[in-house]
Amino acid sequence: MTEAEAGAGTPAPGAEIRALLSSLDGQRRHVLGILEGLDDEALRLPVLPSGWSCLGLVRHLALDVERFWFRAVFAGDEAEIAALDETGDAWQVPSGADAAEVLDLYRTQTRLADAVVIAATAGAPLAWWPHEQFGAPHLHTLRDVVLHVITETACHAGHLDAARELLDGRRWLVLT
C-alpha cells in the first residue's frame, strides 16, 4: 500500500497491521459473500430459535463490532461513544431499512475502521474502555482489538454459513 492509498499525510501501515487487516478483510468478504444472491425476504428471515436474521447479524457487525471496537474503544471518538446509546439493539433492522442499506452500512463501517487502523501502530493503546459493560479492560492495544474483531467476525461468518445452508442449501467453500 502506498502512502497515497493509506491517506494523505498518513504513513503506510507496517507489516503487522497489513497482515492483521488482510486476515480481517478475508472474514469480512466471507460475511458478504455468503449472503450474495439472497433476496430481501431471505435476508430478514430468522432461521434459528434465537430470532436473529442474516441482515440483523450484519447490522450487529457494522455497529457493535466495527464501529464500537475501532472508532469508539480504540480511537475514543466522542461522537461514536455518545452514539452508542442511540443505536438500540443493533441486531434488529429498522422496518424502513432495505437490505442494500444495511449491507452498505457494513461496508462503510469497515472502511472507517480500516482508516483508524491504518493510521495507528499495532501496539497503540486504547483510548476508551466501557467499564460498565466489560469491567476491567481485557484488551489493551490495537493489536488486541483487531484480533478480537477477526475472531468475532469469523464466528459470525460461521453463523451466516449455517443460516445460509438452512435457507437454501448453499455452502461457502467446503474442502473435502
Show contacts of 43-50: CB within 8 Å, 24+ apart.
43/99, 44/93, 44/99, 45/167, 47/163, 47/166, 47/167, 48/162, 48/163, 48/166
At 5 the pLDDT is 45
At 9 the pLDDT is 60
Q: What is the DSSP string of 84-110?
A: HHHH--TTSPPTT--HHHHHHHHHHHH
Question: Tell me: the pLDDT tens digits for 84-102?
Answer: 988 889 999 998 999 999 9
Domains of the chain: 12-168 (1.20.120.450)
Task: Return d(Cα 167, Cα 176) in angstroms, integer.
Answer: 22
Cβ contact 147:141 at 8 Å: no
For residue 153, pLDDT beyond 80: yes
- Residue in the structure block whose three cell numbers are 473435502: 176
For residue 1, pLDDT beyond 60: no
78-87, 98-107, 138-147, 160-169 — which is least confidently predicted? 78-87
Indicate yes or no: pTM above 0.95.
no
Nearest to 57 by CA among 115, 96, 105, 129: 105
With the C-alpha atoms ordered 93, 96, 99, 104, is the resulting torsion angle positive or negative?
negative
Question: Tell me: the pLDDT tens digits for 67-81?
Answer: 999 999 999 999 999
Mean pLDDT of 114-137: 96
Pick 86 or 127 by higher pLDDT.
127
Kindly tell me the burial class for residue 51, based on how many C-beta atoms sit within 10 Å of its own C-beta (0-12, 13-18, 19 or more). exposed
